[in-house]
Structure formats: C-alpha cells, structure tokens
C-alpha cells in the first residue's frame, strides 16, 4: 500500500506581512486560528514562525513557547515544527540557543546555515547529536542539488547522523522572480530517495503543481503563504486553509491517500515520542 501523503502548512514565513495579504497570520493568535483551520482542512504539521513587535522575524524562545502552548490547547493533535531560519540575522550559535531554550518536538534547519555555508561542519555535528539525544526531530532544508549532495556527503562522513532522513527540497529560490516549476525537482530525483522522508515546497504560482509532482515520486507536501499566495488557477487564495483544501481535492481526485495524525507520526518516526 502506498505511503499516505503528509501535508505540512507554512502559513506565514519570515518576510511577508499583512501588506502582502490581509489574511497572512502574523500574531500568535492569528497563527493559532490559521493552524486550526488548516488542520481541519487536512494539514497535520505546522511549520511555525513567530514575529517581533514590528512584525519582524525573530528566533524568540518565549514567543515560541507561547505559540506551542496555545496550539496544544487549540489543536492538540497537530505536530509543530519551529523554524530556525536565520534570514541573514541570526548566527548558528543563536539558532542552537533558541532550540535548546524551547525544546520543541520538531525543527527545520537549513543545512547551509547551521554549517556556516559548509565551512563549520563540526559545530553542526555536535548540534545534530544533541538533537538526537533530546528527541528533537530535524528536517534538513535543502535549496539546491549542491545542498543535497552536501547532505549526503556529510551523512557519509558521520557529521549528520544516519538516523536523519527527513528533508525539504525548496524549489524556485534561485529562479527568476522566485517562480518555480515541476522541472526544478528533477535534479533532486537523480539520487535514490527511497530511504528518505522528503517534502517539496515551491515558490510561486506553480506551487501545487510542484508539490503534486513530488508526491507522485513518493514525497510529501509543504504548502502555504510562506512561499506562495495563489491557487493553482492563478487566483489569489483567501487563506492558507483554502490552499490545503485545493491540494486535498487534487489528491482525492487522483485517489491518493492523505496522512492522518497517527500516519504522520509513524512516517516521521515520532510514534511513542509524544
């Protein structure tokens, strides 16, 4: 039986605000409301960002803990993955300090950032090992085929533990006007992926087409306003949950199964770690 598809929602990101879309969640209350709506629509994982007083991206342990506490009350079955995105502001040391202060169940971390552009792999190794000991699940974010090959090399060298198998392929970051296409996935598919749990996200209006191409190859989906504000037909999406609803409909039309909360924990290797 095919593996059910996990749907992760990335509802805000680090840079967009209400100026980009009035329904983009910025505050903790808005993010919790949006997470609940997306969970109802079919997303089982929230990729979470928090914002400072000027709506800027922050790695703030107190705000993350507040968000997680609120989410556990409102949508207790939804998995929460916090971002460690640097946005050119935070150092690897600050990223690590934030994670250790929050102690989240899941994090995403760009391999380029935590290794200081692959120049300090030993620092990353120590952090990865700490995460394993602390039961913090890592999704490694990869922006290019080069990043993917670095991941494989660092894993072979023992810098990245063999247990790390969750990846996110980001499509379109280096494209003109951040517009991705399903063809952008092809370089990642040159490598055998059967032992990995991988997701696709994509900048631009072809987001849904890109994640569907990934699902057809055995991957999972991350969608939301962080990367794209449009529906597949080119119209402006009302909110993140509408994007989830459209993806679920497309998967149902292809008779593809969608992961529930238990499926998601099993696929990610999190069963028994609640």
76-98 pLDDT per residue, tens: 999 999 999 999 999 999 999 99
CATH number assigned to the domain with residue range 7-268, chosen from the 4 options 3.40.50.720, 1.25.40.10, 3.90.79.10, 3.20.20.70: 3.20.20.70
What is the DSSP track for 56-110? -EE--HHHHHHHHHHHHHH-TTSEEEEE---TTT--HHHHHHHHHHH--SEEEEE
State residue 271's pLDDT score: 79
pLDDT band, very low/low/confident/very high, at 176 (cuts 50, 70, 90): low
State the average pLDDT over residues 34-62: 98
State residue 1's pLDDT score: 67
pLDDT digits (tens, 9 = 90+) for 182-201: 999 999 999 999 999 999 99
- How many angstroms separate the CA atoms of 248 and 103, rounded? 31
% of the chain surpassing 70 pLDDT? 97
pLDDT digits (tens, 9 = 90+) for 208-239: 999 999 999 999 999 999 999 999 999 999 99
pLDDT digits (tens, 9 = 90+) for 119-173: 999 999 999 999 999 999 999 999 999 999 999 999 999 999 999 999 999 998 8
State residue 273's pLDDT score: 60
Tell whether the model's pLDDT for residue 178 goes beyond 90.
no
Tell whether the model's pLDDT for residue 54 goes beyond 90.
yes
Global confidence as pTM: 0.97
Token representation of residue 162: 């063999």
> For helices 28-41 and 240-253, what crossing angle results, to 10°?
20
Q: Domain residue spans in the chain?
A: 7-268
């Amino acid at each position: 039986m095919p593996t059910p598809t996990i749907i992760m929602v990335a509802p805000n990101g680090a840079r967009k605000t209400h100026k980009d879309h009035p329904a983009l969640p910025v505050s903790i209350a808005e993010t919790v409301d949006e997470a609940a709506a997306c969970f109802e629509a079919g997303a089982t994982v929230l990729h979470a960002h928090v914002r400072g007083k000027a709506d800027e991206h922050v790695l703030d342990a107190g705000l993350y803990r507040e968000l997680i506490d609120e989410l556990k009350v409102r949508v207790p079955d939804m998995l929460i993955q916090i971002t460690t995105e640097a946005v050119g502001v935070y150092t690897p040391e600050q990223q690590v300090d934030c994670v250790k202060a929050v102690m989240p169940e899941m994090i995403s971390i760009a391999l380029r950032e935590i290794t200081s552009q692959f120049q300090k792999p030993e620092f990353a190794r120590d952090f990865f090992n700490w995460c394993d000991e602390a039961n913090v699940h890592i999704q490694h974010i990869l922006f290019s085929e080069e990043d993917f090959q670095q991941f494989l090399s660092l894993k072979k060298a023992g810098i990245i533990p063999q247990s790390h198998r969750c990846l996110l392929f980001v499509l379109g970051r280096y494209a003109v006007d951040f517009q991705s296409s399903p063809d952008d996935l092809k370089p990642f598919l040159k490598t055998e992926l059967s032992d990995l749990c991988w997701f696709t996200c994509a900048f631009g209006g072809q987001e849904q087409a890109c994640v569907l191409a990934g699902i057809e190859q055995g991957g999972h989906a991350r969608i939301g306003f962080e990367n794209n504000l449009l529906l597949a037909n080119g119209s402006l999406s009302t909110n993140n949950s509408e994007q989830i609803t459209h993806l679920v409909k497309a998967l149902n039309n292809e008779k593809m199964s969608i992961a529930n909360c238990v499926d998601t924990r099993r696929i990610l290797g999190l069963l028994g770690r609640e």
